[in-house]
Structures are given as C-alpha cells and as structure tokens.
Structure 1
Amino acid sequence: MNSPKCGLRLASVLFGLMSLGQLWRLIAQPEVLVGGAAFPTWPSALAFIVLLLLSAWLWRLSNKTTQ
C-alpha cells in the first residue's frame, strides 16, 4: 500500500477527475461571476488539457515504476 505505483495511480485518478470537472464546465457553460463580471470559459479549456496531460503522464509513469 506504500508503493510509489499506488501513489502515482491515485494522483492520476484525481487529476483525471479534476479534468472531467473542467470539461463539464466547458459543456454546461454555467455563468461564473467574479467581482460582478462574468468569468470566461477559456481558462477551463486550458485547465482541462493540462490536467488530462498530467493524468496520462502519471498513469504512464506508474506503469514504469517497480514494486
């Protein structure tokens, strides 16, 4: 339970879930107000891509880890 493989996989799953949350924001287009001004959705697109890449990278790294 203390292996690096388990930790990398857990982090990968968490990043994957966060990327799905960003994808939901892109699809649902909820209005987000910051200081009374509407917050654009393009940062969610960028966050989706970055989080998805991190998730895939950590998952691949966990497959190379021994133990």
Structure 2
Amino acid sequence: MNSQTMGLRVAGFVFGVMSLAQLARLLIRPEVVVAAHLIPLWPSVLAFLLLIGLSLWLLNLARPRS
C-alpha cells in the first residue's frame, strides 16, 4: 500500500468519525448555545450529509482496483 492510499483511508476515516459526531448531535438533540444564541439542528444535517459523502468518496478512491 502506498502513501497516497494510506492518506485517502485516513482522511476517509476522519471524515467518517466527524459524520458520526454530527449524527449523534441529531439523535441526542443537545442544546448548543453560542454567545446567547441557540444553534439550530439543520446545519448538522448538512454537515452529516457532506461529511459522509466525503468519507465514502475517499474510501472508494482508496479501494484497490483489479
């Protein structure tokens, strides 16, 4: 396995973990307050979709071709 493949796998894994964190926020629904403003949940939906897409894309690129 070369370094580019390893880098794609590591980045795909990191994006996957970040997407799971966003999914956990959607399921647990904690109140997130920044400077007295309540942060809505819809940005987490967008973040989850973007991050899971990036994760799957990078892991697919790292897959060995035959």
Normalising by structure 1, report the TM-score: 0.89
* 1:41 partner amino acid: L
Q: 2:44: which partner in 1?
A: 44
TM superposition shift of 1:34: 1.4
Q: 1:31: which partner in 2?
A: 31
- List aligned pairs for 1:1-67, cutoff 5 A: 3-63=3-63
TM superposition shift of 1:37: 1.5
Normalising by structure 2, report the TM-score: 0.90
Unpaired segments ≥5 residues, structure 1: none
User: What CA distance in whole angstroms lies between the structure 2 residues aligned with 1:21 and 1:30?
Assistant: 12
TM superposition shift of 1:2: 5.4
What count of residue pairs does the alignment treat as equivalent? 65
Question: Taking every aligned residue pair, what percent have the same amino acid on both sides?
Answer: 51
* 1:43 partner amino acid: P
TM superposition shift of 1:63: 1.4
* 1:27 partner amino acid: L
Spell out, residue by residue over 1:15-54, the C-alpha distance to the aligned partner (whole angstroms, 9 max, x if none).
0000000000000000000111211010000000000000
